Chain A
Amino acid sequence: MEERFDAIIVGGGLAGLGAAYTLASEGLEVLLLERGDYAGAKNVTGGRIYLNPVRDMYPDLWKKAPLERFIAHEEVAIMAKERSLTLRYSGEELRTEPYQSYSILRAKFDRWFAKQVERKGAMIVTKSKVDDLIFENGKVAGVKAGEDELYADVVIACDGVLSLLAEKAGLRKPGNPKDYAVGVKEVIELEAAVIEERFGLSEGEGVARLFMGEVTKGMFGGGFLYTNKDSISLGLVVSIKELMENKDRIELPVMFEEFKNRPEIAPLIKGGQTAEYSAHVIPEGGYKALTKLYGDGILVAGDAAGFSMNIGVTVRGMEYALASGYYAAKAVIKAKEKGDFSAKTLAVYEEMLKNSFVMQDFINFKEAPHVLENPRFFTYYPELVTSIMRDLYAVPAGPKERLYPTVKKYLGFKQLWAMAGDMRKVMKI
């Protein structure tokens, strides 16, 4: 089989589907290849998606999108070994439409999104893995998938965090452990009414709870819990470098079980049935770890380019995937107008990203990965804060100590000095 398209997109995640949707909307002939049984079959997220940054790029999409619950309550739990402190923020703006963010299950969402993409006229072939690129005169001219050779003016690599295609195109090298985290997650089924009662939610509302501290045994990362319609997504994200070098040789599946068994978590998932166990690498190297974004006849978008950010307790990648897919498509449309798909013309992709929230976020949070690696944030501070809480709440048999000395005993000159040092670094974020 030999066929020719305006654009071939590799990968049916949010970046690929977003690019295909945008190109097909403009009438271009698009082929999207996805190795899974269906779009979403290989895709893992936390997850919560923020719509504001991408709402206008896909104006017709959101009304009917199969999202789970809008996030009306933001929680963070600071976890020490034997105690924890949980904060819950609820605000009128979070309960007001258009809602800022939703919980999401990707197998469901991506599969639906793929249908909308097909409706726009793009061709999607699933169960099809791209094995290699085809080069002509040093320029990417198509892809090889099994026996098939498929040709196009441009290939958009949206093949996710490892992007073996961008590697083959010489746009990136195999990843360095310090720039990546691994995320594991269980989807635990519970009835909607139980979820709402357990988490204090009105109908349709959802909560996002992030856990920092002891849950990752002092390693860079954190835990998350998102309520879906009738399930809970519970997971952990940990730096690969710190995990593979951890002196206590804690294995990730064990760390996750311990997290699930914490007294703060166990009652939340009680009676629930685990329906799926998933895992995925997450890029978290930030700006400095972004790959080259384009070459002759090729563009890279989404996780494939490194567009995912882990600023401590929250991972954001879905909006960047949707937005970079959108801008990649816009760049292809410009290149088609010019009839030139060389790197020189496709460079407009990077320009567009620089003028958008995508690159601006990555530049603004350039220092975040580095600052947040400080293990004090994951062990020392959670112990400190929760120890102060313990003493404040304790009522001993004898007289209770005054409040000020209780707090002050934890915050001597030495501690405050060290904190000021950490603070100076945090202020770079």
Chain B
Amino acid sequence: MSEPLNLKAKLGLNVFKEDKERHINIKPGMEKDPRLKRAVLVCPAGLYSLNDKGEVEFTIDGCLECGTCRIACGVEVLDWKYPHGGAGVQFRFG
């Protein structure tokens, strides 16, 4: 087996450039929308998680800009943009 990697360490291998602001946000008032829970299952970077209260928490660090959460949760729930030009993940292999 290659080194067993946890997700954070694996994301740490990528090149990320910081953005001025978060490019994905849960729309105000949608924090409890059931559609958000889908993101927990589909996000390849594991950035969505359920807390003790059963609510979805989200961090942006490590976002691969794959678009999966936008498709799964929909644009009523997420305000989804790409990061600014030159920011975000920069793949060296792709």
A contact residues around B42 at 8 Å (CB): 182, 240, 243-244, 252
Distance, CA A93 to CA B88, complexed state (A): 42
The CA of A233 and the CA of B74, in the complex, are separated in Å by 30
Q: In whole angstroms, how far apart are the Cα atoms of A411 and B76 in the complex?
A: 49
Q: Given A188-B2, A251-B41, does the pair A275, B71 have CB atoms closer than 8 Å?
A: no
User: Which residues of B lie under 8 Å from residue A261 when comparing CB positions?
Assistant: 1
**Residue of B64, B68, B88 with most chain A CB atoms under a 10 A cut-off:** B68
- For A272, the closest partner residue in chain B by CB is B2
Smallest CB gap from A40: residue in B:
B94
Q: Given the interface contacts A42-B91, A274-B13, does A281 sit within 8 Å of B71 by beta carbon?
A: yes
Question: What total of A-B pairs shows CB separation below 8 Å?
Answer: 156
Residues of B within 8 A of A182 (CB): 42, 44, 66, 68
Question: How many interface residues does chain A have, given as a range?
Answer: 35 or more
Rounded to whole Å, the gap between the CB of A243 and the closest CB of chain B is 5
In angstroms, Cα B65 to Cα A43, docked, is 10
Contact status A279-B85, CB under 8 Å: no
Interface string of A222-245 (1 = CB under 8 A from B): 000000000101000000100111
CB-based contact B1/A270 at 8 Å: yes
CB distance from B69 to the nearest CB of A (A): 10
Q: Which residue of A lies closest to B68 (CB)?
A: A182
Query: Interface size on B (CB < 8 Å)?
Result: 41
- Minimum CB–CB distance from A317 to chain B (whole Å) comes to 13
Contact present for A253 and B7 (CB under 8 Å): yes
Task: Say yes or no: A107 contacts B93, CB within 8 Å.
Answer: yes
CA distance A380 to B7 in the complex (A): 31
Give A188 to B45 CA distance when docked, in angstroms.
Answer: 18
Could you list 29 examples of A-B contacts with CB < 8 Å?
A: A35-B86, A37-B90, A42-B88, A107-B91, A107-B94, A128-B85, A128-B86, A145-B85, A146-B84, A175-B70, A182-B44, A182-B68, A184-B44, A186-B10, A187-B93, A233-B93, A240-B68, A244-B41, A249-B40, A251-B46, A269-B1, A271-B2, A274-B10, A277-B10, A278-B93, A279-B45, A279-B64, A280-B64, A280-B67
Interface residues in chain A, defined as those with a beta carbon under 8 Å from any beta carbon in chain B: 35-38, 40-45, 105-108, 110, 126-129, 145-146, 161-162, 164, 174-177, 180, 182, 184, 186-188, 231, 233, 240, 243-246, 249-253, 256, 260-261, 266, 269-281
Binding site for A on B (CB under 8 A): 1-3, 5, 7, 10-11, 13-14, 17, 38, 40-46, 64-68, 70-72, 74-75, 81-86, 88-94
